[in-house]
Amino acid sequence: MINYVYHNPGKIIFGKDCELEIGKEVAGYAKRVLIVLGGPFIKENGLYDRVASSLSEAGITYYDLDHIVPNPRLKQVCEGIEMCREHDIGFVLAIGGGSAIDTAKSIAAGVKCEGDIWEYFGTFTRFITDALPCGVLLTLPATGSESSNCAVLTNEETGLKRSLFSDYIIPRFAMLNPEMSYSLPPYQTACGTVDILAHLMEAYFTNTDNVDLTDRLLEAAMKTVIHFGPLSLEYPDNYDIRAELYQAANITNNGMLMAGRLGDWGSHNIEHEISGIYDIAHGAGLAIIFPAWIKYVWKRDPDRFVQFAQRVFDVAYAASRKEWTINRGIKKLEEFYREMNLPTRLSEAGIGDENLRTMAEKAMIGTSAVGMAFPLQEEDIYQILKLAL
């Protein structure tokens, strides 16, 4: 286990109707608020009105930054930063999923940072030292960004998708009402669920030894997501099923299950190159990349991938043929993705081999290796993308 500091002061408010108290929560921080809205459905289904009236009751003035797109863009963040400065905003409130949240967090940091906010993305040498407080009303359980210290943005000029890390951008509160996911299109539910599982796998595939408790906690969360993911497609308006996914997404990225271990995150970085070019949903990209990634890297530490297959998918173990156990695990993972109606190959998503080399090259920009536990070079990434065709 690695030495660590765990400190996540974010407040989780979980349950039916929690959003009715949002004015009271925000009022503790500021009276002038920027609302970052994740999709048109928020205004169409009455949610926006409920939030607005709670804010008004608490004496809060608010401004909207609307039409945030999936794989959120630097341009909208810059627009939000301008709005905050113009209107003397003291709090940024995201309503939506990961895209709205990451936009809000980036704005919150951007208002207070020196120079261009993009310069703080994809680097471990330049750090945010302050940010506006922000909060979240979550409509899609997926990224866990509502409790994390990370934001992911795409720079539309360069096509680069990069991450910002800072404890200053952990949302002060996150409201999680599982009912809000009832009306999600099945494809979005599926992509969100696959994203939760992907975060758990990124943390699980570590090169840190002696992390048995967090191994088992991660397995517990993976089994839950794999169980409830398909059920959420079958019974979209069942509270109990949605609640499990909301809670799983949240706990996955609050840092606790990852304490004391180094995650990999290589698959995420490779996927970012796919969704950077093709505008495919992040979850769908992960369903394509992860099986290919495991096929390529498992030989570097067979025992870890055997444990994954055994404990998460209950695959039988035969000491002399570890690769059989691992292969059965990969098959079961692909089966899960197919149950979620997602592609497991680039070709199924209409993507050919035209940009494999470009994506591999771009993944290496600004880094000496992709993936922390199983470091990859450009040729490795190219081979993984080929395996994913």
Toward its own copies, which CB reaches closer, 3 or 320?
Answer: 3
List the one residue from 90, 230, 236, 260 that touches its own copies (CB under 8 A).
Answer: 260
The Cα–Cα gap between 51 and 48 comes to 5
Answer for the pair 32, 90: CB distance below 8 angstroms, yes or no: yes
Toward its own copies, which CB reaches closer, 76 or 189?
Answer: 189
Tell me the one-letter amino acid at 128.
I
Toward its own copies, which CB reaches closer, 145 or 254?
Answer: 254
Q: From 27-35, 130-138, 186-194, 207-215, give the range in contact with its own copies by CB under 8 A.
A: 207-215
Q: From 37-45, 240-248, 280-288, 342-350, give the range in contact with its own copies by CB under 8 A.
A: 240-248
219 is a site residue for its own copies (CB under 8 A)? yes
- Closest Cα partner for 52 from 94, 28, 23? 23
4 is a site residue for its own copies (CB under 8 A)? yes
Cβ at position 221, least distance to its own copies in Å: 7
Site for its own copies in 5-44 (CB under 8 A): 5-16, 18
Cβ at position 87, least distance to its own copies in Å: 29
The Cα–Cα gap between 344 and 96 comes to 27
Cβ at position 99, least distance to its own copies in Å: 24
Q: Could you tell me how many residues of this chain bind its own copies (CB under 8 A)?
A: 41
Toward its own copies, which CB reaches closer, 4 or 61?
Answer: 4
DSSP state of 68: P
Toward its own copies, which CB reaches closer, 212 or 354?
Answer: 212
Toward its own copies, which CB reaches closer, 106 or 254?
Answer: 254
User: If 0-12 CB within 10 Å is exposed, 13-18 middle and 19+ buried, where does residue 310 land?
Assistant: middle
Toward its own copies, which CB reaches closer, 216 or 321?
Answer: 216
Tell me the one-letter amino acid at 216.
R
The Cα–Cα gap between 267 and 28 comes to 39
91-96 and 173-176 as β-strands: parallel, antiparallel, unpaired? Answer: unpaired
List the one residue from 28, 217, 309, 371 that touches its own copies (CB under 8 A).
Answer: 217
Toward its own copies, which CB reaches closer, 162 or 311?
Answer: 311
Read out DSSP for 274-312? HHHHH---HHHHHHHHHHHHHHHHGGG-HHHHHHHHHHH
Site for its own copies in 261-320 (CB under 8 A): none
CA distances from 28 to 23, 24, 108, 169 (A): 9, 7, 17, 17
Q: From 32-40, 111-119, 238-246, 318-326, give the range in contact with its own copies by CB under 8 A.
A: 238-246
CA distances from 354 to 82, 206, 283, 332 (A): 38, 32, 22, 29
Cβ at position 194, least distance to its own copies in Å: 17
The Cα–Cα gap between 85 and 65 comes to 13
Site for its own copies in 344-373 (CB under 8 A): none
Answer for the pair 167, 7: CB distance below 8 angstroms, yes or no: yes
Cβ at position 336, least distance to its own copies in Å: 17
The Cα–Cα gap between 81 and 90 comes to 12
Where on the chain is the footprint of its own copies (CB under 8 A)? 1-16, 18, 209-210, 212-214, 216-217, 219-221, 223-224, 227-228, 240, 243-244, 247-248, 251, 254, 256, 259-260
